[in-house]
Amino acid sequence: MGAEPTLEQRLRSCQRSAVHLELRDCYMRSDPRFIAWQNGVRNAPEDNDPALRPWLTLVAELVGRGVEIRRARIVSEPVSDYIEFEHHVTDANVTAGEQVRWLPRRQASDIALPGNDCWILDDRLVVFHHFGGDGELAPDDETFTDDPATVKLCSSAFEAVWERAVPHTEYHPARRR
């Protein structure tokens, strides 16, 4: 039996939509871009240049062939330093064609949410991401399912969050003072 396709391969096979629900306040604190940002580096080429940030090229490619890409982030407020960084670098995602919205966690209390971040691809497949408590990827960082009940739960959760969330250009994160 062959290896499972990667998330990138699955995204490239999308025909209509790829939506991503993010639930954590901290990811990959070891990311060199985050470390540079913490040290005062803003608008580094690797944040905005598709040649240095392959995700931006992939988004532009998918959107260019008609795939709608949406990302909804549920965040605690005041936001963590990582979410502040994420907000700062999201302009490039939006420029590439990704639609991004933010929902303060307090406004998500009555939404049934999956236990992990997930991608829902073409309303038929869910890719779950698994992280350790420190925000780093777990050794078994992705699992996939096409179980209809799971796809329905994740799709419903995403759409409920999307309805309430604030578009990226209008969201101003509450910061610690």
Go through the domains of the chain in sequence order and give each one's CATH number: 7-170 (3.30.870.10)
Structure tokens belonging to residue 64:
């260019």
Q: In terms of pTM, does the model score above 0.85?
A: yes
Using H for helix, E for strand and C for coil, what is the string for 59-105? HHHHHHCCCEEEEEEEECCCCCHHHHHHHHHHHHHHHHCCEEEEEEH
pLDDT tens digits for range 41-74: 887 777 777 777 889 999 999 999 999 999 999 9
CA 91 distance to own-chain centroid: 13
Secondary structure of residue 8 in the 3-state scheme: helix
pLDDT tens digits for range 133-160: 888 888 888 999 999 999 999 999 999 9
Which bin fits 115, alpha (ψ -120 to 50), beta or left (φ > 0)? alpha
Q: 2: pLDDT confidence band, cut at 50, 70 and 90?
A: low
Q: Which residues is 74 bridged to in the sheet?
A: 103
- Whole-angstrom CA distances from 132 to 23, 55, 121, 139 are 13, 23, 24, 9
Contacts of 109 (CB under 8 A, 6+ apart): none
CA–CA gap between residue 7 and residue 94 (Å, rounded): 20
- Whole-angstrom CA distances from 126 to 19, 45, 74 are 10, 32, 18
pLDDT tens digits for range 84-95: 999 999 999 999
